[in-house]
Structure 1
Amino acid sequence: MNRRVVVGLDGSAESVAAAHWAAREALMRSAPLHLVHAETWSPRPGVPAARSEERRQAARTLLRDACDELLDRHPRLDISAESFDGQPAPSLARATAGASMLVLGSRGLGTLRGFVLGSVGMAVIHAVEQPVVLVRAAEDTLPHDQGRHLDRGVVVGVDTGRPCDALLSFAFDEASRRGCTLHALHSWMLPPLAGSGFAYSREVNAQIARTERNGLDDMLRPWRDMYPAVDLDAQATVGPSSQQLLEAGSEAGLVVVGRRIRRSSVGMHIGPIAHAILHHSTAPVAVIAHE
């Protein structure tokens, strides 16, 4: 049986959009969908027990209404729901154990199109080693959008100097399931000398470009062989990686980035590229943890 898709639900418009995105993803994978709501409602000093019971009942109502709405739109969906009394990050991490992915909603940056990754979202990303997908409550991901997220292409950022099977496996698998183009983007920067007023010759620049392109082709070759039906668009471009990915992903159905798993308990860094994509992407973003 395919592993379930888990979505965190808190009643916000963003989490509702995430639930609908996750429902379509679960159907595409022939996998069950599991809704999770987590918050601390245990009685605390000075808080009446009745108040805690009200919040617990509100959580049950939230999950029941969400299930009804999703089943009304997707009658074939295998759906379940669960609420936790506890902090969201560790609760969602426990619920996601053994799942194929976790889907979360994230609010937009005011008049800018992008994500706000708050402390809870950041904590969840670091607590979960399965893929985490961030979805905004934007026009292109609201419930009425039935199929566009499947056919707009998948964009993945790759670093030829640090091969990552987990990242490419997820990206190729998503493109294969969706039947869409996979845009694999490797960005590189000219050596410092080239940007200090001493331009390299055209031949030297061309040689650097060929080397970068060959490295990308070498990295992708085994994946081309494993997924021959995937329409692969591989590009090696000059410029900042985050900027190149944001431009390439502006019309994508999904942008895929990696983050290194940090075993240290100090800090929760996800890397500058993933950080930039999460905060400014107009498309859903999948964060893939890897060693």
Structure 2
Amino acid sequence: MNRTCAVDELLDGFSLEMTGRDTGEVGAIRDIVPPGTRINVTFLGGEDLTLRRSAARAVKAAGFVPVPHISARRLASPAALSEHLATLAADGTVEYVFVVGGDPATPHGPYSDALSVIESGLLQAHGVRRVSIAGYPEGHPDIPPAALWSALTGKSAALRRTGLAGEVITQFGFDVDPVLDWIEDVRGLGIDAPVRIGVPGPAGVHRLLRFAGRFGVGTSASIARKYGLSLTNLMGTAGPDRFLRALATDYHPDRHGVVKVHFYTFGGLRATSQWIADFRGGRLT
């Protein structure tokens, strides 16, 4: 398979990420994003339930598949989780969810991590069928590597026990090598769920580096050059074209299993969607 075909295969079935503040852009991407594309709706601390609910409903109304985020440590009680899921079910947006521990250092209620939400039994009770969980190929600034691996294996096992389909969505990165090495390690543990590799959408260099610093993503000078980032021109922009082409070259289904890509839309939902359409159409060099 040549590299162009490999890139097309990786991009087939790509997913996107948005916040509640991006709701106004959902209608604008209907002509450039394939129907049925999964769009994750993040759970930000500054956005209330009404805003997130409106975003998920807008995604569904536009012909896409909403994937609402559930932040375990932000849930005050089982009743709060049940109420949130019941609301999603009433809107027809509960089938796919992404469950993550979340930002608060101290849980607001009984759920200390994503595993505790998965094991609660409430997801299935409200009609959830597929659960995405987080993966960190380059680690997490606040969580030791051993704890990350333990969490990943525990969540994967719990999904199998509860009969929920699962997939892993990774943190974004700028270097293909550690991502693919990590996926091989995941497969070595017997985890065969699909993996969606996090890819930063086109955005300003300064913005990309700020997010990278927050999440512990490697941005050495050599990695920056490989990706196409200019550390001397922070006012410039960068897209993931080099990353995607390198991924298409080095990805091997027999070793890495089912792999797709998930775009973090730091530069905006519409801008990222247009970039993907242009890239797939050969309009970017």
TM value normalised by structure 1: 0.27
TM value normalised by structure 2: 0.27
